[in-house]
Amino acid sequence: MPVNQKVAVVTGSSTGIGLETSVSFARNGFLTYATVRNLDRSSMIKTIADKEKLPIKLLQLDVTDNTSVTNAIQTVASEAGRIDVLVNNAGYGLGGAFEDLLVEEIKDLYETNVFGLIRVTQAVLPIMRKQRSGIIVNLSSGAGLFGYPGGSAYVSSKFAIEGLSESMTYELEQFGIKVVLIEPGFIDTNFASAMVIAKKARDPSSPYSQMMQKLAANSSEMIKNASPVDVVSKVILQAVTSKDPNLRYLAGKDVENWAANKKAMSDTEFHNMMKNLGQ
């Protein structure tokens, strides 16, 4: 690899934000390890990398598997000798009223969204600490700033990432390691179509069935005005190339508006605004 070339690792790179971020990094000179759970689903990023001759290396990494995480990060360390940027992007959504959620469904979500992030970060930290530099980018969400009906599991996973990341900043700054939170709104990816709807929430006899139907209709309308995926990748690139990145970055006009309302309104006013999503 060229002298002084930065090395980035991105999880969940087969589609959406992960794919766009990996390509953006590579186009800007990063040696990028685009990691995917299933290499059979990496044809899109491979096609782009081959066509543009980008410095992208595809790597199998399942964030829910300790051995997979360890092997992948060891591969990067042995080949590249360093890791300058980690983007924890892998994750998915789980929809359903809290009462309708099975504990097993919530555990599965946390295994990817929270513990997956923890596994990968803990594997990378000794490398960054030894080189006394690095940036960890954690994909949060507008859902890491406020709750909404039907989103208790997903929202709580993002709140966990927010608290984890903020606490880590105090511990890691002594080693020259920065932590960044990216908080997107609705983004034009397959996230919504890939969202898992809780088993009980799909039952028409659920006492929350009408609410979930209304939420689905409102979400479909908001998705029509979703921001393009490069809105997020540009914010991530801005953060990792900044000399002094912020802890938090919003990504999308919708989440900017929600965050402004959350700040300006009383809790009661914001609650009344958000509950209309399910009514």
Q: Give the catalytic positions in this structure.
A: 140, 154, 158
Is there a contact between 37 and 21 (Cβ–Cβ < 8 Å)? Answer: no
Selection from 97, 88, 217, 207 nearest residue 147 by Cα: 97
Q: What is the DSSP secondary-structure string of 118-168?
A: HHHHHHHHHHHHHHT-EEEEEE--GGGT---TT-HHHHHHHHHHHHHHHHH
Taking the CA atoms of residue 37, residue 176, residue 234 and residue 142 in that order, the dihedral angle to the nearest 10 degrees is 70
Quote the tokens at residue 129. 């600490």
| Rg, C-alpha atoms of the chain | 19
